[in-house]
């Protein structure tokens, strides 16, 4: 087993090295156990291209055991008073916060993300989701409905949907897990968490901390494994009532089709190809351009909401391109545990090849590679590092403009008028998010109204809050995470008719 030589970076804590050198186990029904088959899968440090840990590969019998545990825990969890469930969830959040410094190190090693970003963004968002949803435990209520017959009392109850399989991607492992676990637990559901095979470690920590918090065995189970086996077994399992999925469009569509056989509830948070639009009349063109650079290069562009299509008023086009390129060139690529790192590697060599494929396709096609455009060399050559890349001159029909690249590649395109702009901005199958930069409030609202996207940011970008729903339009999926809508999807409504004349 690879134990990272962390001395050359910021020192990793003893908890991190102890955790990495220990045996990793599934969490099923409150016990930690190897997979029944004994099979494991390896997870890599993408900055070094070396194996970081081996985790169990959950097979069919592990999935069956986890579903059985989650089913029997439903009654236990629902018998606990709502205020006590809220207290347990708050305790769960407190324990994550207690361990945040070393969890951030583990997550950084597993995902390549800068530790500082995990500490500043991922963990607070995850904690926010748990604490926000803990508040809902005591506020889930039905209603009484006045009906025509005077003899009838009609009321509704909001009941948990049942066992939830939460299937999450590798780009925000802990935070995405919390976005799904928290509302499901608040609703009274039990959960089987299936992290991505590239980043399984923080999910295992969450499973242990939930038990330490006093959340009853079986309420949160964690199965590590591959999508096509472990994930697929959850999707077809008749004992799972709902799949809450975040990931790629391709897998999302496959899950929706497969889950139809058992009519499971499905919610899908999928990809994006998000337009970020700078009008020449925005308050500060340079600040907008600097934010636009952050909108694409944060977490190396591996973000569903990445502002990957920058559309700029022709009047300020050159100025914006210059500023974005200057921001890109100031990023410091390196290992996520190094304090000065602002740009980590891509998650894997496969992802690097995919990203590079898009850029290579652009060469010689009239598209100008203004900055970047190749993998990093020298000390970084053994990791999956790719230079932050800025492309100009791409047409709306080019793949770099239409497809989600999921890497540090920005296209910058110009527009002349708002009438010309909006159909182009919406000319994508995705509809996740968009940014608009202008001081003209009428124009801002008109553009926001015309935008086919689940979230529109005006004079800002990448704002998130546990209280605010997050999810896409069109082929970016359906069903929100966070906010009240994020809770509702784990509840089903029962209607009760009472004849009080008898
Ligand atoms: P992915 O679809 O390959 O994998 C996501 C998860 O699905 C993983 O846990 C994987 O093991 C599992 N999986 C794969 N095949 C499966 C199957 N047949 N049955 C069940 N589960 C299966 O996605 P990824 O590469 O991990 O993540 C990147 C994608 O996620 C991007 O498209 C990105 O835009 C999207 N994403 C969306 C959001 C959002 O909120 N909309 C957030 C983050 C990431």
Ligand 1 centroid from CA 243, angstroms: 12
- The pLDDT of 107-120, averaged and rounded, is 97
Cα 347 to Cα 110: distance, rounded to the nearest angstrom: 9
Atom of ligand 1 nearest to the CA of 197: 11
Measured by CA distance, the residue closest to atom 11 of ligand 1 is 227
Give the residue numbers marked as catalytic. 269, 304
CATH superfamily of 14-270+477-494: Aldehyde Dehydrogenase; Chain A, domain 1 (3.40.605.10)
**What is the per-residue pLDDT across 325-341, written as a single tens digit (0 to 9) for each?**
999 999 999 999 999 99
pLDDT band per the 50, 70, 90 thresholds, residue 9? low
**What is the per-residue pLDDT across 415-459, written as a single tens digit (0 to 9) for each?**
999 999 999 999 999 999 999 999 999 999 999 999 999 999 999
**What is the per-residue pLDDT across 265-299, written as a single tens digit (0 to 9) for each?**
999 999 999 999 999 999 999 999 999 999 999 99
Atom of ligand 1 nearest to the CA of 250: 2
Are 390 and 410 contacting, i.e. CB atoms less than 8 angstroms apart?
Answer: yes
Measured by CA distance, the residue closest to atom 30 of ligand 1 is 247
Which DSSP state fits 388?
Answer: -
Kindly give, in sequence order, each residue whose CB lies less than 8 Å from that of residue 404, ignoring residues fewer than 6 positions away. 249, 271, 272, 273, 308, 430
Are 96 and 206 contacting, i.e. CB atoms less than 8 angstroms apart?
Answer: yes
When the pLDDT of each residue in the chain is averaged and rounded to a whole number, the result is: 96
Ligand 1 centroid from CA 368, angstroms: 31
Ligand 1 shell residues, CB under 6 Å: 167-172, 194, 196-197, 227-228, 231-232, 235, 246-248, 251, 254-255, 269-272, 304, 404, 406, 432, 472
**Numbered ranges of CATH 3.40.309.10 in the chain:** 275-465
pLDDT of residue 11: 59
**Numbered ranges of CATH 3.40.605.10 in the chain:** 14-270+477-494
Report the range of poorest mean pLDDT among 5-9, 34-38, 229-233, 474-478. 5-9
Q: CATH code for 275-465?
A: 3.40.309.10
Closest CA to 30 of 222, 312, 194: 222
Model confidence pTM above 0.85 = yes
Assign 3-class secondary structure to 309-326: EEEEEHHHHHHHHHHHHH
To test ligand 1's pocket by mutation, which of 247, 258, 299, 486 has the most ligand atoms within 8 angstroms of CB?
A: 247
């Amino acid at each position: 087993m690879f134990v990272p030589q962390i001395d050359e970076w910021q020192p990793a804590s003893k908890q991190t090295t102890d955790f990495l050198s220990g045996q990793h186990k599934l969490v099923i029904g409150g016990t930690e156990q190897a997979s029944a088959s004994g099979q494991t899968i390896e997870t890599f440090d993408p900055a070094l291209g070396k194996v970081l840990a081996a985790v169990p590969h959950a097979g069919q019998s592990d999935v069956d055991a986890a579903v059985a545990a989650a089913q029997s825990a439903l009654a236990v969890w629902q018998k606990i008073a709502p205020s006590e469930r809220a207290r347990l969830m708050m305790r769960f959040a407190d324990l994550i916060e207690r361990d945040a410094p070393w969890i951030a190190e583990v997550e950084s090693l597993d995902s390549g993300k800068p530790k500082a970003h995990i500490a500043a963004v991922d963990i607070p968002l995850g904690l926010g989701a748990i604490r926000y949803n803990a508040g809902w435990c005591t506020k889930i209520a039905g209603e009484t409905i006045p009906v025509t017959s005077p003899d009838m009392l009609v009321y509704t109850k909001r009941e948990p949907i049942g066992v939830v399989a939460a299937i999450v991607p590798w780009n925000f492992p802990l935070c995405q897990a919390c976005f799904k676990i928290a509302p499901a637990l608040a609703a009274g559901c039990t959960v089987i968490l299936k992290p991505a095979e590239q980043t399984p470690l923080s999910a295992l920590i969450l499973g242990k901390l939930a038990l330490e918090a006093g959340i009853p065995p079986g309420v949160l189970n964690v199965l590590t494994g591959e999508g096509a086996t472990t994930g697929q077994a959850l999707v077809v399992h008749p004992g799972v009532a709902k799949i809450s999925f975040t990931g790629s469009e391709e897998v999302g569509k496959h899950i929706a089709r497969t889950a139809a056989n058992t009519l499971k509830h499905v919610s899908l948070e999928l990809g994006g190809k998000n337009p970020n639009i700078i009008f020449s009349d925005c308050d500060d063109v340079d600040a907008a351009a600097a934010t636009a650079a952050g909108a694409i290069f944060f977490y190396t562009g591996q973000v569903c909401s990445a502002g990957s299509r920058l559309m700029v008023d022709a009047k300020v086009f050159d100025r914006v391109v210059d500023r974005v390129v200057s921001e890109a060139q100031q990023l410091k690529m390196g290992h996520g545990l190094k304090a000065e790192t602002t740009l980590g590697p891509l998650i894997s060599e496969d992802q690097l090849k995919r990203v590079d494929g898009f850029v290579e396709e652009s060469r010689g096609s009239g598209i100008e590679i203004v900055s970047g455009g190749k993998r990093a060399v020298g000390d970084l050559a053994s990791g999956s590092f790719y230079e932050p890349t800025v492309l100009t001159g791409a047409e709306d029909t080019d793949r770099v403009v239409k497809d989600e690249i999921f890497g540090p590649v920005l296209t910058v395109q110009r527009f002349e008028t708002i009438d010309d702009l909006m159909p182009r901005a919406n000319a994508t199958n995705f509809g996740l998010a968009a940014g608009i930069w202008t001081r003209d409030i009428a124009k801002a609202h008109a553009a926001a109204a015309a935008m086919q996207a689940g979230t529109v940011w005006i004079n800002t970008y990448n704002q998130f809050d546990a209280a605010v729903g997050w999810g896409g339009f069109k082929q970016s999926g359906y069903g929100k995470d966070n906010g009240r809508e994020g809770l509702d999807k784990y509840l089903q409504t029962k209607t009760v008719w009472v004849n009080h004349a008898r």
